Structure 1
């Protein structure tokens, strides 16, 4: 199936209500092209008054391999268990320790899921393998302005060094980074040779940059 972040958010709301008592705030949900894991859950940890505080929860689901709807759902549930344990500050014996396994077995036995501790990538078919080989790679410039605006641009590779220097000299640009992407989202962008970019909202900016491969331009 073709997975989208909107589908994942819909599933998250449903699972949160059905299995987690509606206690989990909506995290950042991102599609990735990870090859070694179908899903991950990450967050930031800081110390305040001798206590650990967890923020910026992010769940990433890989679409690199072909998966059924059920497999994607079970991957999301796996990461939601991690999220619940971390969000509720529940001590566990390890990453997939006693608490995690008890929650996993409860969902499997009561509701007919087949959530597992880990998934093997061996033998899995790459999603749209033929289309992937034909798909272009886009050189993407991601820009953050001093007013908080986010912008994305697809750049002609021959103009990358020139635009990198130009971006460094624009005082309104507080951060700019380069990425490689094969995301079809960028197919309707013009390949620019001047410092032009498309304004996007922060959620879309974060989703796209998290899924792309960071690139350092050669000196």
Structure 2
């Protein structure tokens, strides 16, 4: 379907009334072209008197991939759960911790939704406005830890030198190498600005690193 911010505002008002007691503040709602996630909820943390509070809420929904109406609605509900937790200043065990999962499970079991913690992008086609004529390029960091663990990461180009310096100083990293890749496998990786990576099997590590173009970082 073709998604618009007007549609999202209509859904937000409906879901706020139906599932959140009309308690949620109306956030800024925007469309994005994000490739690694279908939705995000961001806000600003400010200190008031003796406690921290959150304000300036924004929900962004990606139109980079083709999604059904139901998928877009479940993505919006996912971000509304994040909004509920932040707005009420609820301490959770993690980004998708106990509190998040309790609300998610209530909406799924009581109202028939299928909200999930994360969504793989591999099964989604690009929208017609995003033909895959020019494959995206990814800056990939391949890590081998001292216990043999293999890890891969997609790194923001502007943060590459900083991440490289961190990798050199981290004693647990036995080897790290940089590559460029246009492999769609990396589409659902978060593009990081710090030393974070995803654990992969040795077979996947070997398959991906053999196919990628080695890269030597240079100071600007």
TM range (shorter): 0.5 to 0.7
- State the Cα distance separating 1:127 from its structure 2 match: 0.5
Q: Partners of 2:124 and 2:20 in 1: how far apart?
A: 30
Q: Partners of 2:80 and 2:69 in 1: how far apart?
A: 16
Q: Partners of 1:16 and 1:46 in 2: how far apart?
A: 24
Match of 1:74 in 2: 74
Kindly indicate whether the alpha-carbon contact (under 8 Å) linking 2:45 and 2:55 is maintained by their aligned counterparts in 1: yes
Match of 2:56 in 1: 56
Residue 10 to residue 132, structure 1, CA distance change in 2 (3 Å):
farther
- State the Cα distance separating 1:132 from its structure 2 match: 7.9
Q: Partners of 1:92 and 1:131 in 2: how far apart?
A: 39
- Deviating 4+ runs (over 2 angstroms): 129-134
Q: Deviations over 1:133-165 (max 9, x none)?
A: 69xxxxxxxxxxxxxxxxxxxxxxxxxxxxxxx
Segments of 5+ residues of structure 2 without an aligned counterpart are 135-220
Q: Partners of 1:112 and 1:49 in 2: how far apart?
A: 41
SS in 1 for 2:55: strand
- State the Cα distance separating 1:78 from its structure 2 match: 0.2
Match of 1:152 in 2: none
Match of 1:26 in 2: 26
Q: What does residue range 44-193 of structure 1 map to in structure 2 within 5 Å?
A: 44-128=44-128
- State the Cα distance separating 1:36 from its structure 2 match: 0.2
Residue 47 to residue 64, structure 1, CA distance change in 2 (3 Å):
same
RMSD: 1.6
Q: TM-score, normalised by structure 2?
A: 0.58
Q: TM-score, normalised by structure 1?
A: 0.59
- State the Cα distance separating 1:122 from its structure 2 match: 1.2
- State the Cα distance separating 1:37 from its structure 2 match: 0.3
Kindly indicate whether the alpha-carbon contact (under 8 Å) linking 2:85 and 2:100 is maintained by their aligned counterparts in 1: yes
